[in-house]
Structure 1
């Protein structure tokens, strides 16, 4: 068969415009020796032919056999949820009394503890802001390089 006709059929095949008869012509053509510029198409049609031969065997579901995998997974899930609920309510049942909350009844002592706590928080915040000096120096140097100032 002439190469020009095959090339036109290939173009139609790539566009999805070929009929079944034309596709059969292409399959038969590529079973034989082909020119070098058409060798990639030979591989493509050989692969398609091989895949057509390898049809999957459909297994019919067997009526007598049941899979208990889903059943056991459901049972395990219910047990996990039941144990979780049991332990959650067991731990939460020991309620806290007013004495366990750590409340201070003396107002002066409460004010002193609050000041100590705020002082501690202030020190931690100041330690974090001390590192910002390096960042400011870095920004100054960057601005000099970029010449923003």
Structure 2
């Protein structure tokens, strides 16, 4: 398991934009599974939406990308680098993520060639899919 300090040693994201609380499991270059414990204190809930707080879909995608970045950037040859978005494909949102939810984030690297690759990403809450799709990344 990786906590915040260990995650910060792998990826460059920091509060308030670090959207994962811990990594439960990972294998460098292959996959990572992380969690975001969604609380009512998240800044984005002030405006999204005041009377019906919902985690923005783009932030769920970003959280999945950060988990994927842990998988990719934990490879020795990518240490100290940054993973950038190259594309967001086939994403679907199935359910809303609300305060109190524990968001499970899993990204598997399904193909890679050099610094470019694709990850299959799935976000769930209580075993139910809330979002899934593919993320293209470029390490630079």
The TM tier, using the shorter chain, reads under 0.3
Bigger share in strand: 2
Bigger share in helix: 1
Provide TM-score, normalisation by structure 1. Answer: 0.19
Provide TM-score, normalisation by structure 2. Answer: 0.20
Of structures 1 and 2, the one scoring higher in RCO (CA 8 A, sep 6+) is 2
